[in-house]
Structure 1
Amino acid sequence: MARRLFPVLVAFAAGAALVALAPGLSTTLQRAVGFGADKKAAQSAAKPEAAETKTSVIPMDDERIKLAQIEQAGVGPATIAKRLVVPGTIVPSANRIAHVSVKLSGTVAELRKNIGNDVVKDEVIAVLESREVADAKSEYLAARLTDELQRELFVRDKMLWDSRVSTEQQFLRSRTTAAQTDMRLNIARQKLLALGLQDSEIVALPKAPEASLRRQDVRAPISGRLVERKVELGTAVGRDSLETELFVVVDLSRVWVELSVASADLPSIKEGQPVRISARGLSETVTGKIIFVSPLVDKDTRTARVVAEIPNTDARWRPGSFVTAAIALNERDAAVVAPISAIQKLDGRPIVFVRTKDGFEKRDVVLGQREDETVEIVSGLMPGDTIAVTNTFSLKAELAKPKDED
């Protein structure tokens, strides 16, 4: 055995001596004698694996953040809801529609409002001329005059009776007549109220010009917008198959949303539930509540009518528009909620970028329930943290860059 190893040892020794004596030998020759591979392995061992890992902090000052158009927002608690999304249609609230009709026969003498005009309650929007209202006003004025005269006679007869100057029979007759005239006056007043006059107008009748006796003001019953006008100047209105409706006034400060909900989803729908309304072409959403759930299901569509009410003070939600309604089936409070745009994925795991004094730090997070454009953060963030919410892809790209070598 020793004899076999001896030639090998001699050759190895000769090669080592050759390298030592001739350091300028080629790399090929060094590899041939087994020295090049050891050097490469040593160089490889000199680079620790830690240098290959990517940093989780992205240095970035305010100026760079502004140039990158990265918006930031704080995270915190919010309400997360599971929602049922159904289509709907905006309609006027049935409680806020008024049909202005006449209660007497006459002719349209004035039209003070046109379609699209805003009106306030009790504002005069038209004037009628009517023989019927002239007769009613004249009857009231006559009854009022008779009542005043009879009251004076009654007061005089009462004084005479108290002084025992007149007979009791005269006093009783005067009292009865006064009661009758007062009753006629009340009947005449009630007739004017039935024709549409207000108390203030009735009180002012004795001093009103004679020409106004045949005129009747038509007033808006509610505040809103005049959406229909069905008569023109000189139109005969009233009874005997004539037009009785003059205007339609709608108050659009609150509107209804009519929804069609499948029968299978009805057990989850209750009156009072919040509902979020959105529409194509509108960036804003509005929140209302369900005010009616029909107990009947349509036999053909197998859906039920559900009505929600929403505010509409700026008249953005126009009746007839198609909308999307998201009905909150259940709601709960989440400790931390973030915009969905803030979430990126790295190696298949969700991450966010948290603002620090030096820039942004990558933070692994665990996601919970999602609602529209927000998502619950189960872990990884604390309330009050500030995160990047737009252009986060640029931060992800920056994170993926290899670390510069020294």
Structure 2
Amino acid sequence: MANGSFIAVVAFLAGGAFVALMPDVSTRLQRTVGIAPGNAPTQANGTSGQAAPKIPVVAMDDDRIKLAHIDLATVGPGMVAKRLAVPGTAIPDAGRVSHVSVKLSGTVAELRKNIGDDVTKGDVLAVLESREVADAKSEYLSARLANELQQDLTSRDKSLWEGRAVPEQQYIKSRNAAAQTEMRLNIARQKLLALGVEADEIAGLPQSPDASLRSQNVRAPVSGRLAERKVELGAAVGRDNLETELFVIVDLSRVWVELSVSSADLPQVREGQSVRVSARGLPETATGKIVFVSPLLDKETRTARVVAALDNTNGYWRPGSFVTAAIALSERDVGVVVPATAIQNVDGGKAIFVRNKDGFEKRSVVLGEQDGQSVEIVSGIAAGETIAVSNTFSLKAEFAKPRDED
């Protein structure tokens, strides 16, 4: 009985092979034996006779994206750098600190600005009363009057000499006297300028009341913020061991970041390199440039002083703050750069969520170098695609939910 079954199986297989090799056999008969064209048996790995797997998508329209606080961005090329992180301190720009001092003896009669006030170049900060400035102004007015009179006499003598009414010697003497009075006037004017009196104040002295002769305005030489006020109302200032510095004005629209770079790293640091500055507890970062690299090393720490200039128009960086500076040692352009917030760990790999017409699709990516909060993408997405760059954890959670099989 077993021999009969074996013979039947062999006959069936032989018949199937015969039918497959005969071109005139009908397709219907080939299908009967399971070898019809287009109906090949399905492979175990599912690569034949099976539709391509469907890409998982989280369906979200624009309103839902806005409600979920998901920000979008179009990816594109950028620059990444190899950076050296060093500690530092924000300090005022030394070229933007002004010490306001007096050049004469007197007392403080008025204080018109207080510490913390913003000042503009030319603003009156204080008013002094000084016998010295009163003497200098009086001397100037006297010299000015003498010069005017002598210039009139010289003009008259010149006219008389030209009319042969006076000898030439008289005109020469008058002309010499006019030159001397003019010289004295210029000396008196220069003395007032040296004491700190402005040119427009000097020009207005003849029309000023007598009481103003003893007053001296102390003006702001630069615009900025009043950082220090070193005198009080009624204080004596000036020479003879008295206080001469009244105010300190600092322009903080640009600050310096003073860095300490070790001797081992110093050969890689040079002027002109960009620096990314951050501080603990502060969400913002800023970018500046190195303006000075000291040729000397500190004897104790074996570090060099490096200074970077940083724009501070918004007043965000306060002098005295401790910061971390990442110096760009080398930079290169890459094809695709994304924010670090766009990347999530999914199934043991890195993924980015790409916006499409239906919502978001999960895209596995290969990362390159990271530069602060920017990351190079080696493969997985192309420049020009739109991705989610914030609150991406909510998308990761959506993809982690179980889904119905199609």
Cα 1:82–1:156 shift into 2, 3 Å: same
Q: CA deviation at 1:148?
A: 0.5
Q: Distance in 1 between matches of 2:374 and 2:53?
A: 29
- Match of 1:234? 234
- Match of 1:129? 129
C-alpha contact 1:54 1:399 (8 A) present in aligned 2: no
Q: CA deviation at 1:332?
A: 1.7
Cα 1:375–1:100 shift into 2, 3 Å: same
Q: Distance in 1 between matches of 2:317 and 2:270?
A: 24
C-alpha contact 1:58 1:398 (8 A) present in aligned 2: no
Q: CA deviation at 1:190?
A: 0.4
Letter in 2 for 1:139: E
- For the aligned residues, what is the CA RMSD? 2.5
- Match of 2:167? 167
Cα 1:126–1:399 shift into 2, 3 Å: closer
Q: Distance in 1 between matches of 2:279 and 2:151?
A: 68
1:374 matches 2:374: yes
- 1:152-231 equivalent positions in 2, closer than 5 A: 152-231=152-231
- Match of 1:360? 360
Task: State the TM-score, normalizing by the size of structure 2.
Answer: 0.84
- 1:101-140 equivalent positions in 2, closer than 5 A: 101-140=101-140
- 1:302-317 equivalent positions in 2, closer than 5 A: 302-317=302-317
Cα 1:137–1:372 shift into 2, 3 Å: same
Q: CA deviation at 1:296?
A: 0.4
- Match of 2:28? none
Question: Which blocks of at least 5 consecutive residues in structure 1 are unaligned?
Answer: 10-44
- Match of 1:85? 85
Q: Relative to structure 2, which stretch is displaced further, 351-360 or 395-404?
A: 395-404
C-alpha contact 1:57 1:359 (8 A) present in aligned 2: no
SS at match of 2:328: strand
Q: CA deviation at 1:48?
A: 6.4
- Match of 2:252? 252
Q: Distance in 1 between matches of 2:105 and 2:134?
A: 11
**Residues 169-195 of structure 1: per-residue CA shift (max 9 Å, x gap):** 111111111111111011000000000
Q: CA deviation at 1:91?
A: 0.9
- Match of 2:273? 273
Q: Distance in 1 between matches of 2:246 and 2:222?
A: 14
SS at match of 2:140: helix
Q: Relative to structure 2, which stretch is displaced further, 127-136 or 362-371?
A: 362-371
C-alpha contact 2:274 2:288 (8 A) present in aligned 1: yes
Q: CA deviation at 1:266?
A: 1.3
Cα 1:366–1:183 shift into 2, 3 Å: same
Aligned residues: 367
Cα 1:46–1:272 shift into 2, 3 Å: closer
Q: CA deviation at 1:75?
A: 0.7
- Match of 2:100? 100
- Match of 1:35? none
- Match of 1:283? 283
Cα 1:314–1:343 shift into 2, 3 Å: closer
**Residues 241-263 of structure 1: per-residue CA shift (max 9 Å, x gap):** 11111111111111111110111
| Structure 1 or 2: more helix by fraction | 1
Q: Distance in 1 between matches of 2:171 and 2:64?
A: 103
Letter in 1 for 2:104: L
SS at match of 1:108: strand
- Match of 1:57? 56
Q: Distance in 2 between matches of 1:53 and 1:68?
A: 31
C-alpha contact 1:261 1:303 (8 A) present in aligned 2: yes
